[in-house]
């Protein structure tokens, strides 16, 4: 067991200790934990108490022993609503069958990172959640010891039943909850040793599963309240344009339409949060009685748009520097390609340099150089953006799907000039996020519209609104070079990476630290197009490109692809170059060895083409081997074998689901997805033109193996997504004899010379 402090000073732990209907209520500050980033509270109270404390991160125990555990972080399908309470329940030592789980509301007075993003919820809440359960357990045991007048050391607990070893008497948690609530919160508590876990490491069903499959209201779009109106926005058709004028009289007279007007989501003098990404802050708004009526009104509305001179100034300069004639300031995919070709050569900043790479390349017997690209991507959550808002009587009630409720609350505070304590944000389950719902402009829009209408409204984006409004995954470009001597030994490695409008470079990741002469350069190009985090930001491209290049390099050097990586990692572990390497070479090599053994790499099925890839991101390590064939220029993926080192796995079935989903998602985007632009206009607005992977195109099998260790949990929602793209590209090469450098790969595959060139 380990001892942890319950607070940095007792006052930082003790928020509330009181009686609530005879139950135990424990409040604590999550910041008391050395790793925790959130401040929260654990409440315990009798079943069906007269009063509940309106705080986050709490548990409640009724006099019958039933426990309610509140999950503090937003749920976007990553299963934290099940896994986080499992951690509390483990240390509390309660029967999971007696646990009720509910979503906690936003409370910025208590939490400091109530956010779903970066695959950090479990990792950063690990010790805090354990501390919460252990503290409650200690106080319940102390109350029982006092009642029996025996030392706490003579007591044990299992599944919420306390037993005295000397007399074999028992008490349930509910029997001592009231007495425990009168005790002082301890200064430190003892956590279980990891070999004592009974709930953590076992599979538990999603607590919302029944509601999901039976169609019960869970999502923002399910929201309905009496008197609620429907609002939709109309934004400019092109990035770089703005509202000029409209003729709304006809639309205002249509059935059910209440009003048509423009709003300013973010005034120029408003201090924005990082999450306030919005390319169109002055949309037209239509408000009506029903979604159908508003959608029909949108079709009839006549709006005139004009170029925004401030937004187009920078891109015009770049277009002219790229030799573009007749530049309008409205971006196109062709312009992006030309700019990145120029940008990668002329606007680079050295981010890391080991040894003397220039000399190594000058003296090399052979230089291998390859470039890789990927397009903008739309997030395309199955549930389009939406939010409910009721701004009235000096208060704001907000309800819906958002990954950053705390930052959204601050944005509403600044936009409406309303005190934070008068803003209430309730979180619904999200029908997908992938980073899109980190940016809460749609929530702010809903609040502004409700304030203007003086009515409760539900803002609804159509699929077309959602897909053409941004926020997109940036477009990237990377060039790799490797210098070899006359014996095909690796002398130097050079990566030059950039994009619109950010670079995908991670200068201190593998193979940095494994090569004596290493150079990493970065560049960026500005854009009018709004971009943001997309599942595994930056890694979602650079991993596949890097792993594709390493495979090509291994082939040139006459080495097995896995052994080549292992040799580099062995160097990085035993004699690393530099001190800033941000990966553990032994763990990295570990997943490669597992996937090699589990897939039968050395004795694989000769009828299948195999590709391997491995990557580190979000504190976790993933290696994947993909088996496939290509027939009639169509990929048929038979199996993906995955090895994952994410530390302790809290809920194995849920973890396996995440790896399967991330793997399929990575394959789909690399093969099929792209967002293109012409004169600032997104060229795809619905799933008839924007390709996502279909059921029949998914791998027939995804086999998942977790590395077992006692390392505290690390990220999992994002790490399986990036590397599989490299495994796919490497398998495609084996199947077709052609290297794949530009995503989406399906374009090259279907434009191949013919089936005669393919190994089927």
* Structural domains present in the chain: 2-202 (3.30.365.10), 226-307+385-460 (3.30.365.10), 536-757 (3.30.365.10)
Question: What is the per-residue pLDDT across 207-259, written as a single tens digit (0 to 9) for each?
Answer: 999 999 999 999 999 999 999 999 999 999 999 999 999 999 999 999 999 99
Distance CA 468, CA 472 (A): 9
Q: With cut-offs at 50, 70 and 90, classify the pLDDT of residue 57.
A: very low
Q: How far are the Cα atoms of 265, 269, 277, 401, 412 from residue 272, in angstroms, in the given order?
A: 11, 9, 9, 20, 10
Q: What tens digit of pLDDT does each residue of 634-647 get?
A: 999 999 999 999 99
- Give the pLDDT band (50/70/90) at residue 9: very low
Whether 14 shows a pLDDT value over 50: the answer reads: no
pLDDT band (50, 70, 90) for residue 312 = low
In this model, does residue 201 exceed pLDDT 50? yes
Tens-digit pLDDT profile for residues 355-375: 999 999 999 999 999 999 999
Residue pair 400/387 in contact (Cβ under 8 Å)? The answer is: yes
pLDDT digits (tens, 9 = 90+) for 62-103: 667 777 777 889 999 999 999 999 999 999 999 999 888 888
Q: Give the C-alpha separation, 72 to 74, whole Å.
A: 7
Q: Where do we find the tokens 């929530």?
A: 443
Q: Quick one: pLDDT at residue 314?
A: 57
Mean pLDDT of 150-178: 92
What is the full DSSP assignment across 43-89?
----SS-S-----SS-EEE-TTS-EEEEE-S--SSS-HHHHHHHHHH
Provide the 3-class DSSP secondary structure of residue 358. Answer: helix
Beta bridge partners of 624: 613, 642
Model confidence at 27: pLDDT above 80: no
Confidence category of residue 693, pLDDT binned at 50, 70, 90:
very high
Q: d(Cα 357, Cα 484) in Å, to the nearest integer?
A: 12
- The pLDDT of residue 6 is 67
Mean pLDDT of all residues belonging to the chain: 88
| Predicted TM-score (pTM) of this structure | 0.91
* pLDDT level of residue 325 (50, 70, 90 thresholds): very low
Range of weakest confidence among 31-35, 363-367, 565-569 = 31-35
Confidence of residue 133 (pLDDT cuts 50, 70, 90): confident
3-state secondary structure of 384: coil
The residues that bridge with 374 in the sheet, in sequence order, are: 476
Residue appearing with tokens 């002469």: 517
* pLDDT for residue 611 is more than 60: yes
Q: Which residues, 6+ apart, have CB-to-CB distance to 679 below 8 Å?
A: 238, 328, 330, 331, 332
Give which of 598, 621, 630 is closest to 723, Cα–Cα.
Answer: 621
The residues near 126 (Cβ < 8 Å, ≥ 6 apart) are 35, 87, 712, 713
Rounded mean pLDDT of 744-755? 79
Give the separation between CA 343 and CA 475, rounded to whole angstroms.
Answer: 13
pLDDT of residue 1: 63
Torsion of CA 296, 300, 301, 304, to 10 degrees: 140
Q: Is 348 left (phi over 0), alpha (psi -120 to 50) or beta?
A: beta
Contact between 239 and 678 (Cβ < 8 Å): no
Residues 281/273, Cβ–Cβ less than 8 Å: no
Report residue 104's pLDDT band, with 50, 70 and 90 as the boundaries: confident
């Amino acid at each position: 067991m380990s001892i942890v402090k319950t607070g940095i000073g007792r006052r930082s732990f003790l928020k509330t200790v009181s009686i609530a209907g005879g139950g135990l209520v424990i409040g604590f500050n999550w910041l008391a934990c050395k790793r925790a980033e959130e401040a929260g509270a654990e409440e315990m109270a009798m079943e069906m108490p007269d009063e509940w404390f309106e705080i986050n991160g709490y548990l409640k125990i009724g006099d019958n022993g039933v426990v309610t555990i509140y999950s503090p972080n937003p749920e976007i399908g990553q299963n934290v609503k099940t896994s986080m309470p499992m951690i509390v329940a483990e240390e509390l030592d309660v029967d999971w069958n007696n646990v009720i789980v509910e979503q906690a509301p936003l409370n910025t007075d208590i939490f400091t990172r109530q956010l779903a993003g970066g695959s950090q919820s479990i990792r950063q809440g690990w010790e805090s959640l354990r501390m919460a359960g252990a503290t409650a357990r200690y106080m319940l045991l102390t109350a029982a010891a006092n009642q029996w007048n025996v030392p706490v050391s003579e007591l044990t607990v299992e599944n919420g039943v306390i037993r005295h070893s000397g007399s074999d008497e028992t008490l349930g948690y509910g029997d001592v909850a009231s007495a425990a609530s009168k005790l002082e919160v301890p200064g430190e508590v003892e956590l279980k040793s990891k070999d004592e876990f009974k709930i953590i490491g076992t599979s538990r069903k999603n607590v919302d599963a029944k509601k999901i499959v039976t169609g019960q209201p869970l999502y923002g779009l399910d929201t309905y309240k009496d008197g609620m109106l429907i609002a939709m926005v109309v934004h400019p058709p092109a990035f770089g344009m703005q509202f000029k004028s409209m003729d709304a009289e006809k639309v205002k007279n249509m059935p059910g339409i209440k009003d048509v007007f423009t709003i300013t989501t973010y005034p120029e003098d408003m201090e924005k949060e990082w999450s306030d990404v919005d390319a169109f802050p002055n949309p037209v708004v239509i408000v009506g009685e029903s979604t159908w009526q508003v959608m029909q009104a949108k079709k009839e509305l006549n709006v005139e748009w004009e170029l925004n001179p401030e937004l187009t100034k920078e891109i015009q300069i770049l277009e002219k520097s790229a030799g573009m004639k007749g530049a309008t300031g409205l971006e196109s995919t062709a312009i992006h390609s030309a700019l990145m070709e120029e940008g990668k050569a002329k606007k680079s900043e050295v981010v890391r340099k080991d040894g003397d790479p220039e000399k190594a390349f000058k003296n090399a017997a052979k230089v291998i150089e390859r470039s890789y690209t990927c397009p903008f991507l739309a997030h395309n959550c199955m549930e389009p953006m939406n939010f409910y808002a009721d701004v009235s009587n000096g208060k704001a009630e907000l309800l819906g799907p958002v990954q950053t409720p705390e930052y959204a609350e601050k944005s509403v505070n600044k936009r409406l000039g309303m005190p934070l304590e008068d803003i209430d944000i309730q979180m619904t389950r999200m029908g997908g996020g992938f980073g899109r719902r980190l940016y809460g402009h749609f929530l702010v829009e809903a609040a502004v519209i409700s304030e203007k209408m003086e009515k409760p409204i539900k803002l609804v984006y159509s699929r077309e609104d959602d897909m053409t409004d941004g926020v997109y995954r940036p477009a990237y470009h990377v060039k790799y070079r490797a210098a070899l001597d006359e014996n095909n030994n690796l002398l130097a490695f050079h990566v030059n990476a950039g994009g619109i409008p950010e670079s995908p470079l991670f200068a201190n990741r593998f193979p940095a630290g494994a090569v004596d002469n290493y150079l990493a350069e970065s560049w960026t190009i500005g854009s009018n197009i709004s971009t943001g985090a997309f599942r595994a930001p930056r890694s979602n491209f650079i991993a596949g490109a890097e792993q594709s290049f390493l495979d090509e390099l291994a082939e040139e050097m006459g080495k097995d692809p896995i052994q080549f990586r292992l040799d580099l990692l062995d160097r990085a572990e035993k004699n690393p170059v530099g001190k800033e390497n941000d990966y553990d070479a032994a763990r990295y090599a570990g997943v490669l060895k597992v996937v090699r053994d589990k897939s039968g790499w050395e004795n694989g099925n000769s009828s299948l083409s195999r590709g391997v890839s491995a990557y580190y991101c979000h504190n976790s390590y993933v290696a994947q081997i993909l088996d496939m064939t290509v027939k009639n220029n169509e990929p048929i993926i038979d199996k993906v074998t995955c090895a994952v080192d994410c530390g302790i796995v809290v809920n194995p079935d849920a973890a396996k689901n995440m790896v399967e989903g991330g793997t399929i998602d990575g394959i789909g985007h690399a093969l099929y997805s792209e967002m293109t632009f012409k004169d600032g206009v997104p060229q795809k607005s619905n799933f008839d033109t924007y390709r996502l992977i279909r059921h029949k195109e998914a791998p027939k099998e995804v086999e998942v193996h977790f590395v077992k260790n006692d390392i505290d949990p690390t990220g999992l929602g994002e790490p399986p997504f990036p590397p599989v793209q490299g495994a796919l590209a490497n398998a495609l090469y084996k199947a077709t004899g052609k290297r794949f450098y530009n995503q989406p790969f399906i374009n090259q595959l279907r434009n191949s010379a013919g089936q005669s060139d393919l190994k089927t």
